[in-house]
């Protein structure tokens, strides 16, 4: 089955700096890579996603890059704000031929210091 590794497990940045979270996956058949933000005690919320036919996607201060050859993808947050503080999870999905398997990374706790 799929295995998703996520690093770092914790990340502290100064407000205004950039934050980068990296994930690797093992199954080359995975074709969809969402990123979720989860605040304490709340539901995971989708913040950005990317498909395997795209190398990069950007939405305002958030961007995701995908390297299919190396099987890794990264989340980039620029101009961080205190409200960006949360746990971020990457995930990799294989879907096709009646199968749907979403595997999550272990999460990164991001702290943005004012």
Partner 1 sequence: GAVVSQHPSRVICKSGTSVKIECRSLDFQATTMFWYRQFPKKSLMLMATSNEGSKATYEQGVEKDKFLINHASLTLSTLTVTSAHPEDSSFYICSATRGGEDTQYFGPGTRLTVL
Positions that interact with partner 1 (CB under 8 A): 32, 34, 36, 41-46, 49, 89, 93, 95, 100, 102, 104-107, 109
Cβ closest to partner 1, residue 98 vs residue 114: 98
**Residue with token string 């205190």:** 82
With respect to partner 1, which residue has the nearer C-beta, 12 or 18?
A: 12
Three-class SS state of 69: coil
For the record, the structure tokens of 48 come out as 């950005």
- Cα dihedral angle (58, 105, 10, 35), rounded to 10 degrees? 20
Q: Which is nearer to partner 1, 32 or 78 (CB)?
A: 32
- Residue 68 CA to residue 57 CA, distance in Å, equals 14
Q: CB of 104: closest distance to partner 1 in angstroms?
A: 5
CB 3 → partner 1: shortest distance, Å? 12
For β-strands 62-67 and 56-59, DSSP reports them as antiparallel
Least CB distance to partner 1 at residue 83 (A) = 19
């Amino acid at each position: 089955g799929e295995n998703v590794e996520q690093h770092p497990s914790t990340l502290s940045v100064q407000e205004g700096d950039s934050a980068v979270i990296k994930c690797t996956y093992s199954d080359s058949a995975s074709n969809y890579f969402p990123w979720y933000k989860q605040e304490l005690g709340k539901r995971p919320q989708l913040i950005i996603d990317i498909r395997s036919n795209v190398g990069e996607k950007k939405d305002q201060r958030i961007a995701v890059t995908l390297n299919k050859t190396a099987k890794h993808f990264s989340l980039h947050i620029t101009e961080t704000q205190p409200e960006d503080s949360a746990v971020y999870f990457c995930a990799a999905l294989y879907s096709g031929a009646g199968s749907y398997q979403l595997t999550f990374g272990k999460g990164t706790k991001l702290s943005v210091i004012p």
